[in-house]
Amino acid sequence: MKKFYNFPEGFFWGSASSAEQSEGKGNTGKGKTIWDHWFEIEKNRFFDEVGPDVTSDFFNRYDDDIKLMKELGHNSFRMSLSWARLFPNGDGEVNEKAVEFYNKVIDTFIANEVTPFVNLYHFDMPMAMQEKGGWESKKVVKAYANYTDKCFELFGDRIERWFTFNEPLGPVLGGYMQDFHYPNVIDFKRATQVAFNTILANAKAIRKFKKHNLKSKIGIVLNLSPTYPRSSNKYDLEAAEYCDLFYNRSFLDPCVKGEFPKKLVDTLKKYDQMPEYTKEDLKIIKENTAQILGINYYEPRRAKARDNAVNTKSPFMPEWLFDTYVLPGRKFNQYRGWEIYEKGILDLCNNVKDNYGNIEAFISENGMGVADEARFIENGQINDDYRIEFIKGHLKYIHKAIEEGCNINGYHLWTFIDCWSWMNAYKNRYGLVSLDLKTQKRTVKKSGEFYKLLGKNNGFED
Ligand code: BGP
């Protein structure tokens, strides 16, 4: 029997993107980011050797793009500000041309009744700051806090929801553990320093925010994956606990509760992986926690006790304490290699409800990247039923989470128009709208039509 999934009044429907992945360079004199730099020196590591120079040219096309969002059921959208655009050297004087650009963008969102959610950092470290040590350096933390302070001053009158970071775990994993972000270091101790300093930067930005006495709220966007043990065997359970500590609670606990999990700290001490910090740092983290939470959900993590003994000569990694494993018969996005497990989103929401004070939250990213979508074109439109199924499958569990009392007030799909991805460039397409890279032509996909009705009806039937 069909059912209509009705969402609470005022639910935020929309999508998300980031500056580096959609703006293009523009003409404000944007400073280089680590992505521009890495692309310059190692093009071969980017799919089809496409870099972030042009992307979908939001810089020049924001007006039409925002109108199209409105048409396709959006009442909100998460964008990010580019630190390197506003401060080409990372600090010093703000760039007035960049301010003008973002003022126009924000005003256009508001004029179209699409509420902008603003994220302050989405993987895009200004190269000038990376040269000073990136997130390993407390000077960079300070420069970031000053940058955010300026943003609150400049745009705070119009923004209702702020986010300090998108997925701060990403640069830790990518840049210091697994070699998929610049600076391509493999060193867990440096990774923990980067993680700690990012958490401190988040808290310092929140502290600055509070000084502005704005009516809006501020929080952080985390990529969370519910962690499932293979079995109830005690070593499988312990493995899952470690996996959860390193990859979820490492950020979730300090950012929402202001404290690091004791077992995580004890483990870092045991393996001599502690970052440097001061008591004052811990105090700032304790006193400046998130007021709202963005949850990015793509895939679950499945953990089991390690099959083999650790090679203690290899660099320390959290995986010394667990193995991840593949669920036989899992639903799977073959293009991205990620398991699709819709119920995971319900488990995540319930975890936030039960263990993190039911903080006001929204699903800030969820989506499906598919390669070669042109093969699905029918009558000039990409017939992406798989994406519609993906969205519905997750929304049903979000609906259930809300029924169970979870404080979830929105859903933002990744993404609106096919965007540039960190190393995959334009390999996998996530958009509700397809992009012809050569002509910049936008064409609404079938999922875009679905989204239009979703927003209009505040829900869907299935
Ligand atoms: C998230 C990031 C996004 C986006 C998305 C899809 O982790 O916040 O920036 O890129 O994942 O991942 P990918 O582009 O790697 O396929």
Check residue 153 and give its pLDDT.
98
170, two tokens: 């990403």
Contacts of 287 by beta carbon, 8 Å cutoff, 6+ apart: 203, 207, 258
Check residue 315 and give its pLDDT.
97
Domain housing 123:
4-461
Q: Is the distance from the beta carbon of residue 75 to the nearest atom of ligand 1 less than 6 Å?
A: no
The reported pTM is: 0.98
The pLDDT profile of the chain, 462 residues, written as one tens digit per residue, is 999 999 999 999 999 999 999 999 999 999 999 999 999 999 999 999 999 999 999 999 999 999 999 999 999 999 999 999 999 999 999 999 999 999 999 999 999 999 999 999 999 999 999 999 999 999 999 999 999 999 999 999 999 999 999 999 999 999 999 999 999 999 999 999 999 999 999 999 999 999 999 999 999 999 999 999 999 999 999 999 999 999 999 999 999 999 999 999 999 999 999 999 999 999 999 999 999 999 999 999 999 999 999 999 999 999 999 999 999 999 999 999 999 999 999 999 999 999 999 999 999 999 999 999 999 999 999 999 999 999 999 999 999 999 999 999 999 999 999 999 999 999 999 999 999 999 999 999 999 999 999 999 999 999
The CA dihedral of 69, 22, 413, 223, to the nearest 10 degrees, is -150
What's the gap in Å between 397 CA and the centre of ligand 1?
22
Check residue 106 and give its pLDDT.
98
Residue 233 CB coordination number (10 Å): 12
Check residue 171 and give its pLDDT.
98
Mutate to test the pocket of ligand 1, among 17, 82, 299, 414 (most ligand atoms within 8 A of CB): 414
Check residue 425 and give its pLDDT.
98
What's the gap in Å between 190 CA and the centre of ligand 1?
23
What's the gap in Å between 91 CA and the centre of ligand 1?
27
Q: Is the distance from the beta carbon of residue 57 to the nearest atom of ligand 1 less than 6 Å?
A: no
Check residue 410 and give its pLDDT.
98
340, two tokens: 């699709």
CATH value at residue 48 = 3.20.20.80
Nearest to 242 by CA among 175, 221, 234: 234
How many folded domains does the chain comprise? Answer: 1
**Active-site amino acid positions:** 167, 365
Taking the mean position of all CA atoms in its chain, how far away is CA 303? 23
Q: Is the distance from the beta carbon of residue 39 to the nearest atom of ligand 1 less than 6 Å?
A: no
What's the gap in Å between 431 CA and the centre of ligand 1?
12
